[in-house]
Amino acid sequence: MKDDQMFRKYMAMLGEVYDKKITKVLTSAYWEILKNYEDQDVEAAFKACLVACRFFPRPAELVERIRGNEDPGGQALIAWGQVMLALESVGPHLDPALDATTSAAIRAMGGWQYLCGLDYSVLKWAEKRLREHYEAAQGKEDHVRLPGKKVLSLAEKLKAGGN
């Protein structure tokens, strides 16, 4: 980060919105944490926190939002959406035909059957774990898709003339 004025402007905004005194020490600590990121990513993180955070954001919250910007497609979040769709439509005895990275993340969590057996009330924690495992598995070529029955997508079913 190079834009000191932008940084100070958003720190002041956060201080006003969250009724927090912005000291030199606080500013220095946040600058140290954020200085290696791009200006536009830091600005986007500040804006996101102003909209979404209920309390003055800690540096880790800003960094999480920045790292989310590094993955503009939100691939881990998209993977979770696909898992949720598969949970509703596939069941525990079939392979949900997910991509290799998502499959590796599911295996790291305990497998598809384990995930299918979770109570709805703990799915938010399962999402967090899946996203962590997904990010760890990204870019690794050593995860191999386990054999299983292929589940046709809705488009494939319609093309084949099935229900």
**pLDDT at position 148, please?**
45
Residue 57: the pLDDT is: 93
3-state secondary structure 42-55: HHHHHHHHHHHCCC
CA distance linking residue 101 with residue 141, whole number of Å: 9
Contact 102, 79 (CB under 8 A): yes
* Residue 115 to residue 111: CA distance in whole angstroms: 6
pLDDT tens for the chain, residues 1 to 163: 899 999 999 999 999 999 999 999 999 999 999 999 999 889 988 998 888 888 999 998 898 888 765 554 467 777 887 888 888 888 888 888 888 888 999 999 999 999 999 988 888 888 888 888 888 887 654 444 444 444 444 455 555 555 4
Can you list the alpha helix ranges (DSSP code H) found in 35-122? 39-52, 59-70, 75-89, 100-109, 112-116
pLDDT at residue number 94: 86
Quick check: 39 and 46 in contact, CB under 8 A?
Answer: no
